Amino acid sequence: MRWLRFAVFILIVTVLQAGLVDIIAVSRLNIKPDLLLILMVFFSIYCNQPEAIITSFTIGFAADIIGSAMGSRIISFGLFGTLLSYLHGVITIKKMPYQSLVIFISSLLTGVMVNFLTLLKEGQPTTANAYTSLFWTSVYSGIVGPFLFLPTAWCMRIKTYRSGRH
């Protein structure tokens, strides 16, 4: 892993998530894809386990910086990124429909955990329609996510497939 390249890439994506993703948001419901979660799934799938764990916690920290409550995303991204990297050691997730499904499920699970941890920390629910928004954000991220894997792999110089015989 090229860690300086990773740090710059995460910084750029965090800025995009904080401000420029509003351009592609579904305006009526304010639903936008979670680029940082998509990256967490990408690095959990395509990196070895120690790198996947480090990147998951780092991406969770970046998500906490632009989020509402500090600490909830770093815990949930780190936990589910670690579980996903261990799962990837058993199951290969290379096809786009499977990647989309993994992004959808990871988005739902991390979102529920973030809402639960925020509820524990602040003592009040985040918003009235948090789970409806979470579902549609997960759907949107699941649709957009696999298409962002190839540019991410190109930027990070990570091989996503192997050519030749096994």
Q: Which of 144, 37, 41, 56 is nearest to 94 (CA)?
A: 41
Query: What distance, in Å, lies between the first and last C-alpha atoms of the chain?
Result: 24
Cβ burial of 101 (10 Å; 0-12, 13-18, 19+) is middle
Least confident of 27-36, 91-100, 157-166: 157-166
Domain 3-156 has CATH 1.10.1760: yes
Task: Quickly state the pLDDT bin for 164 (edges 50, 70, 90).
Answer: very low
Q: Could you tell me the residue ranges of all domains in the chain?
A: 3-156
* pTM, to two decimals: 0.90
Mean pLDDT of 62-68: 89
Output the average pLDDT for the chain. Answer: 88
Chain segment 70-124, per-residue pLDDT in tens: 889 999 999 999 999 999 888 888 899 999 999 999 999 999 999 888 888 877 6
